[in-house]
A and B are shown apart, each in its own frame.
Chain A
Amino acid sequence: MNKSKRKVNIAFWVSIAVMAVAIPATVYFSYLLGDRNLYIASVIIMILAMVPFFVSFEGSKPDARYLAILAVLTAIAVISRVAFIWLPSFKPMAGVIIMIAMSFGPQAGFMSGALSMIVSNIIFGQGPWTPWQMFCYGLIGFIAGFLGRSRILSEKHVIRTSIVSFILVFILSGLVLDTCSVFLMTSSISWQSAIAIYLGGIVPNLTNSLASSLCIFFLLKPFMAILNRLKLKYGLEY
């Protein structure tokens, strides 16, 4: 069961190399164009950073079962966000994504993270923050996939998994989502305004990470049991 067929493939590394050229080029052009194009440059960089993951997913020629399972699990992640819409910034979605990533690996983790964000924004409304949110949740899934492979996240250690996911979600949403606010709210980025925005983001990020971590604490065992049973029953090797 541990042997996984779906490894990160060559297309991924090739496009990583291409992006390693394209992203500095974007930075250079925005530098040439002057100060107010920082935000546009940052959005372009976010989109470019997601390209390798999507290219590798298309390149791996996913079969119907993989697509269907990923679609069902991502839909469940989206529903978990819709269900708690009345509680501000309490979004257990990242928890569901981490569990998907633990079971199906980094690639599935990234795809379900990015797709669940774009789908929930189709419901709640897209905004200039969509690429950032997609990248943030995709990255949470991707890293959780690797942590799951290396057994740091595991269904046998519920407490440790909840704590590690809490830290993972808190750090990544602080790094990516609050950087988005910095670019969106200020133009001439100064240290004071940036620090003010990062500090202001701590409380919502804590709520969000707590929601994900609670979701993992309560759901890890039943959820992983269902997924393992599914794999056993249909002989899936993802």
Chain B
Amino acid sequence: MREIYKDEFATYNPITNIIYFLGAIILGMFFIHPVFVGVSIIIGLIYLFILKKKRALRELLFMLLMFVVISVINPVFNLLGATVLFRLFNRPYTLESLIYGMTLGGMAVAILCWFACYNCIMTSDKFIYIFGKIIPSVSLILSMILRLIPNLTKKTKQIASARSCIGMAGDSSSSRMEKVRNGTLVLSTLTSWSLEGGIIMADSMRSRGYGSGKRTTFAKYRFDARNLVLILVMAFLLTVIIFCAAKGATQAEYIPYLMMSWFGDIYMSLGVLAYAVFLLIPVFLDIKEMIKWRILRSKI
């Protein structure tokens, strides 16, 4: 259903992955400063292209559309701002609120971009690994559902082919009403078949002692030294970023005049640097791995 992406960061422990993505997404939502938003978009896109190669282009198209819509529409509703570009339906269309809209649109694109990367890295088993300890019943039922979906798809095909085998599936000449009735029958068969299967599964679970004690889980993830090192690095960078943000590095005012901290401010420069390094962690890991691979290959 979902391809495995060759990426160094994906081989790390799910806890490390989720800390990174939570950091990237939450900070991306918080910082409404054009430079920070720009850094987030550029690095997000770089990582997305590393992960998905050419297939990222299709998502890029949607993001571009969203960016244009949000940035053009914001000045239509937001009339404040000192520099009037032109008047639309006798209402001022101002430069300040256009820039504000572009920053907002950029932010939405950055968030979408990070979610696209998240979807490549955080597979469903990683998701269940994280939540399995907090909400055991919910994560058990979640893993059951995820397993049932391919199973039910297969069963649907079996039912449909069995019905066409005995000439009950209808053909291209059948009316719309017949098609609906046919679909309903397939779904009813699927439901009763899979529910019976579910009951058998539950009885089998019970006879193996489900609910009689603490449930153990199997996971192929280990928490080793490199994960600890990476988490400490991320924690340090996040502390620096939050400290700089508290000192006003990410402040930006748009209305009525543009007013924002710029690179002359030491906290601002430090904040941007730490933010960029934090977001670039997976890219660094991939580059490191590529260099290592080249060295190893040249030794052969």
Report which of A37, A68, A70, A73 forms a contact with B201, defined as CB distance below 8 A.
A68
Which residues A55-94 have CB closer than 8 A to chain B?
57-58, 61-65, 67-76, 78-79, 82
Structural contact, A222 and B184, CB atoms closer than 8 A: yes
Task: Using A57-B138, A71-B198, A118-B142 as known contacts, say yes or no to A36 and B77 having CB atoms under 8 A apart.
Answer: no
CB of A102 closer than 8 Å to a CB of B: no
Which residues B107-131 have CB closer than 8 A to chain A?
108, 111-112, 115-116, 118-119, 124, 127
Contact with B along A184-217 (1 / 0, CB 8 A): 1111101011001000000000000000000000
* Chain A contact residues: helix, strand, loop or mixed: helix
List the 3 shortest-distance A-B pairs measured between CB atoms, nearest first. A71-B144, A75-B148, A68-B202
Structural contact, B211 and A64, CB atoms closer than 8 A: yes
Structural contact, A63 and B211, CB atoms closer than 8 A: yes
CB of B192 closer than 8 Å to a CB of A: yes
Structural contact, A76 and B210, CB atoms closer than 8 A: no
Q: How far is the CA of A77 from the CA of B121 in the complex (A)?
A: 26
CB of B285 closer than 8 Å to a CB of A: no
Q: Which residue of B lies closest to A114 (CB)?
A: B138
Task: Using A71-B198, A119-B142, A193-B77 as known contacts, say yes or no to A79 and B108 having CB atoms under 8 A apart.
Answer: no
CB of B164 closer than 8 Å to a CB of A: no
Interface window among B26-34, B167-175, B275-283:
B26-34
Task: Using A61-B211, A123-B1 as known contacts, say yes or no to A226 and B195 having CB atoms under 8 A apart.
Answer: yes
Structural contact, B187 and A219, CB atoms closer than 8 A: yes
Which residues A7-31 have CB closer than 8 A to chain B?
none
Structural contact, B148 and A64, CB atoms closer than 8 A: no
By the criterion of a CB under 8 Å from any partner CB, how many residues of chain A are at the interface? 54
Give every chain A residue within 8 A of B135 (Cβ-Cβ). Answer: 54, 58
Total CB contacts across the A-B interface at under 8 A = 151
Which residues A118-171 have CB closer than 8 A to chain B?
118-119, 122-123, 125-128
Structural contact, B137 and A57, CB atoms closer than 8 A: yes
Structural contact, A76 and B138, CB atoms closer than 8 A: no
Q: How far is the CA of A15 from the CA of B111 in the complex (A)?
A: 31
CB of B46 closer than 8 Å to a CB of A: no
Tell me, rounded to whole Å, the shortest Cβ–Cβ distance linking A105 to chain B.
16
Structural contact, B205 and A68, CB atoms closer than 8 A: yes
Give every chain B residue within 8 A of A78 (Cβ-Cβ). Answer: 145, 149
Structural contact, B199 and A69, CB atoms closer than 8 A: yes
Binding site for B on A (CB under 8 A): 36-37, 39-40, 54, 57-58, 61-65, 67-76, 78-79, 82, 111, 115-116, 118-119, 122-123, 125-128, 184-188, 190, 192-193, 196, 218-219, 222-223, 226-227, 229-230, 234
Q: How far is the CA of A39 from the CA of B187 in the complex (A)?
A: 40
Task: Using A75-B145, A79-B152 as known contacts, say yes or no to A115 and B30 having CB atoms under 8 A apart.
Answer: no
Structural contact, A75 and B149, CB atoms closer than 8 A: yes
- A/B interface sample: 17 pairs, CB < 8 A: A36-B30, A40-B30, A57-B138, A58-B135, A62-B137, A65-B199, A71-B198, A72-B191, A76-B190, A111-B141, A116-B145, A123-B2, A187-B100, A188-B78, A196-B77, A229-B192, A230-B192
Contact with A along B161-188 (1 / 0, CB 8 A): 0000000000000000000100010011
Q: Which of B26, B124, B137 has the most CB of A within 10 A?
A: B137
Structural contact, B112 and A127, CB atoms closer than 8 A: yes
Report which of B116, B119, B148 forms a contact with A72, defined as CB distance below 8 A.
B148
Structural contact, A64 and B206, CB atoms closer than 8 A: yes
Q: How far is the CA of A128 from the CA of B202 in the complex (A)?
A: 35
List 10 other contacts, CB 8 Å, given A58-B138, A69-B195, A118-B142.
A58-B137, A64-B205, A67-B140, A68-B201, A68-B202, A72-B197, A116-B145, A119-B145, A123-B2, A128-B112
Give every chain A residue within 8 A of B140 (Cβ-Cβ). Answer: 67
